[in-house]
Structure 1
Amino acid sequence: MNNMLRKLLILFTGMFCCLSHVSTAQELRANVSVVANQISASTDKKIFTTLQAALKEFLNNRKWSDDVFTTAEKIECNFMLNITQDLGSNQYKATLTVQATRPVYNSGYLTSLLNTQDGDVAFKYIEYQPLEFSDNRVVANDPMVSNLTAIFAYYAYLVLGLDYDSFSPRGGDVFFRKAQNIVNNAPEGKDVSGWKAFEGNNNRYWLQDNLLNARFSRFHEVMYQYHRMGLDNMSEDLIKGRAAIMNCLNLMQALYNDNPNNILLQMFFRSKADELQKIYAKAPPQEKARAVEILSAIDVPNAQRYQALKSATNNNIITN
């Protein structure tokens, strides 16, 4: 992907300044939190504070791409690791919530790119132990130690891939292939899960598989058109921007008809359902009715919310 387009778009959003201040910053501005409310009081919670700092450094100080990012261009994201079980011997089970946003051109609005939760996180961490990861050697000596960095690296590449997809056609493929490499070389062990096809139909394996599967190429068209032709145009031409998003709804309907249980659509709507409600709240009746019809059919969990659009009077999310 040509990162120059991304730079120019962010430069002119009007929400940042002094982009040339730092020219070699890493790609992510990740806020990391480690929560251990479910862990027994007998466990020394200090280790989780240390782990939180280590994970923040791992995500924010590592170079994940060959592109040069300024400080203002960094991708805003949140990683929340919720420790659910102490397995003993410095081993834990957890869930991981990952969120990422992208600035919309010429506005102060941040659109959600990703909002997902992974319930298959098991790892080993010894306090002050360095967090190491290499694309060339995903698994080190201990699979449970490697599983922690493999999972966080996987989602770092996913965040980058979705961000790049939103700025140029198929711009994220290089990062999705890096995520695929992690899946192909993932740790194995009795408490390790989420990396194999047979372990479920909504895990890291299937998400990566779908992102690079030609059957789901429309998803990448949607990511680009929705953000570049849709949201990024809304400040200058609301009608044109909304029309581009309607075209995306038609693409997603075709994708849904071919693959009703598609994990990519589920991921998309977890991030976009609220935004789509606001986009079409004040659309003309015929356009709104068409949006409600499509969205209610292809995003069934949020169908009631879309039906409420028929009487909605919300303000549009992006204004001049």
Structure 2
Amino acid sequence: MITMANNAHLWYAKHRSWCFALIMSIAGTLLALLPAQAQELRANVTVTTGRLVNNNTSRKVFTTLQNSIREFLNGRRWTDEAYTPAERIECNFLVNITEDLGNNTFKATLTVQATRPVYNAGYLTSLLNTQDQNVVFRYVEFQPLEFSDNRVVGNDPLASNLTAILAYYTYIILGLDADSFAARGGDDFYKKALNIVTNAPDGKDIAGWKPFEGNRNRYWLQDNLLNVKFARFHDVMYQYHRQGLDMMYEDMTKGRNAVMNCLNMMYAIYQDIPNSMLMATFFTAKAEELQKIFAKSPPQEKSRAAQLLAIMDVTNAAKYQQMK
């Protein structure tokens, strides 16, 4: 027995490299059989510079910044949920640098767009299409973009402002997407956005996080999403997408009726709280789609939809009136 043990030991010592390779190969095969898990976003990121006041900064810095933002959004896990590659949320982040303030500090606008696939339609519906005018941040080339929900402000408020803004809109996107698939599905993500607003970086050049800085900013969007006065909005998000758009493949009339019911619910919200940021955000994303949905509906329904939309979304009122 001792001889057999010694022989086995000698055999393993001689072939241990081969054994290790075999074990790793088997482990790799087993891992490949497990369900694939991917990050939540499939974000397309573009950084543009337009006409900078101070053009001394190397253009290469902005290419590096673009790659860093893309990795920040796509390379980290934002939730504990398992997303397959097909479930990743399609979104766009366009950072337009408008001014070089010196000391590696920049002023920019940020356009954020996100979509959701409609069941059996090969069509993407817009969840969010918004522009943030209050983006000021510090970025040193190759400086890692870091963010923690537990310490939003970081060590440098101007550097942290960029990652806080990106994380904020990521949670808003995740919340709207979850709301569209499950009733009140987005609440936890909106609370994470609130946490960022509550603990946001502060400084003389930093804006958009406080209620007194305007009525269309990051503060008001998350406030509306969590405010009980807008509770019916979450019912709208669910019914509009699951009972409306997703149903149209099987029954166009039934799906359109669900969307019409959503307009009635939105009008009830509007009567209580007109001109809110949440209403404006919804119609910026949905205006064109709503026109198409009711373009071929019966005259009475089309007229009612046009009337409600023109009242709630004054910006596009003329377009809605053409539907009648």
TM-score by length of 1: 0.89
Maintained 8 Å contact 2:55/2:100: no
Confirm whether residue 79 of structure 1 aligns to residue 93 of structure 2.
yes
Query: Which amino acid in the other structure matches residue 186 of structure 2?
Result: G
**Residue 95 of structure 2: SS of its match in structure 1?**
strand
- Partners of 1:180 and 1:131 in 2: CA distance: 21
Counterpart of 1:31 in structure 2 is 44
Confirm whether residue 187 of structure 1 aligns to residue 201 of structure 2.
yes
Shift of 1:293: 1.0
Instruction: Find the structure with the greater CA-based Rg.
Output: 2
Give the structure with the larger helix fraction.
2
Query: Which amino acid in the other structure matches residue 33 of structure 1?
Result: T
Counterpart of 1:46 in structure 2 is 60
TM-score by length of 2: 0.88
Counterpart of 2:297 (choices 283, 305, 315) is 283
Confirm whether residue 267 of structure 1 aligns to residue 281 of structure 2.
yes
Shift of 1:140: 1.1
- Partners of 2:47 and 2:220 in 1: CA distance: 26
Counterpart of 1:150 (choices 164, 189, 192) is 164
Shift of 1:22: 5.9
Change (3 A) 1:106 1:273: same
Confirm whether residue 172 of structure 1 aligns to residue 182 of structure 2.
no
Counterpart of 1:128 (choices 142, 147, 156) is 142
Provide the aligned C-alpha RMSD in A.
1.1
Gaps of 5+ in 2: 1-32
Shift of 1:30: 0.1
- Partners of 2:191 and 2:56 in 1: CA distance: 42
- Partners of 1:177 and 1:89 in 2: CA distance: 34
**Residue 108 of structure 2: SS of its match in structure 1?**
strand
Query: Which amino acid in the other structure matches residue 263 of structure 2?
Result: L
- Partners of 1:92 and 1:118 in 2: CA distance: 14
1:212-271 alpha-carbon deviations (Å, 9 max, x no partner) = 000011111111110011000000000000000000000011111111111111000001
Counterpart of 2:116 in structure 1 is 102
How many residues end up aligned between the 2 structures? 291
Change (3 A) 1:83 1:21: farther
Counterpart of 2:215 in structure 1 is 201
- Partners of 2:128 and 2:34 in 1: CA distance: 28
1:266-304 alpha-carbon deviations (Å, 9 max, x no partner) = 000001000000000000111111111111111111111
Change (3 A) 1:171 1:308: same
Query: Which amino acid in the other structure matches residue 74 of structure 1?
Result: R
Counterpart of 1:227 in structure 2 is 241
Counterpart of 1:251 in structure 2 is 265
Maintained 8 Å contact 1:30/1:77: yes
**Residue 34 of structure 1: SS of its match in structure 2?**
strand
Q: Which has the higher contact order (CA 8 A, sep 6+)?
A: 1
Change (3 A) 1:21 1:235: farther
**Residue 322 of structure 2: SS of its match in structure 1?**
helix
Confirm whether residue 64 of structure 1 aligns to residue 78 of structure 2.
yes
1:173-221 alpha-carbon deviations (Å, 9 max, x no partner) = 0000000000000000010000011111111011111100000111111
- Partners of 2:306 and 2:153 in 1: CA distance: 46
Query: Which amino acid in the other structure matches residue 243 of structure 1?
Result: N
Maintained 8 Å contact 1:21/1:70: no
1:103-151 alpha-carbon deviations (Å, 9 max, x no partner) = 0011101000000000000000000000000000101111000000000
**Residue 107 of structure 2: SS of its match in structure 1?**
strand
Counterpart of 2:69 in structure 1 is 55
